[in-house]
Amino acid sequence: MVHFDIIRILRLKGAPLSLERVRIGLELIKVVQNKDYQLLQAWYLSGVNLDQSDYNGRTALHIAVRLRERTMVSRLLEYGATPLESDIWGWTAVDEAQNNLPSILKLFHPFT
């Protein structure tokens, strides 16, 4: 059970989130893989950068597109994730969606 009110209060009081950036990226990717929408909302409310990446520069949005998780892609965009972040190979989430995923590519319309 996620306690959103507690997260909001802690953030309001200036409580820091002390995790390495790569660790945050890995945790966000795990949230996508587990389809845990509540935990994604908790990360969002905590104020983390939803474009934080793993060791290969892959973001949660990259993974959501690769897994064809349209709802997760939509939620990440709603929370401020950017589909134009490049991984270490220069691929963006938009590039991933252009590989026969027109329904997801439509979600990126303002960015493409």
Residues 6+ apart with CB under 8 A from 29: 54, 58, 59, 60, 63
The pLDDT of residue 112 is 59
Q: Please check the confidence at residue 94 and state whether its pLDDT lies above 70.
A: yes
Residues 6+ apart with CB under 8 A from 104: 65, 68, 70, 73, 97
- Structure pTM? 0.85
CATH number of 4-111: 1.25.40.20
Chain segment 41-79, per-residue pLDDT in tens: 999 988 899 999 999 999 999 999 999 999 999 999 999
Locate the domains of the chain by residue range: 4-111
The pLDDT of residue 8 is 73
Residue type, 103: S
Tokens of 28: 């966000």
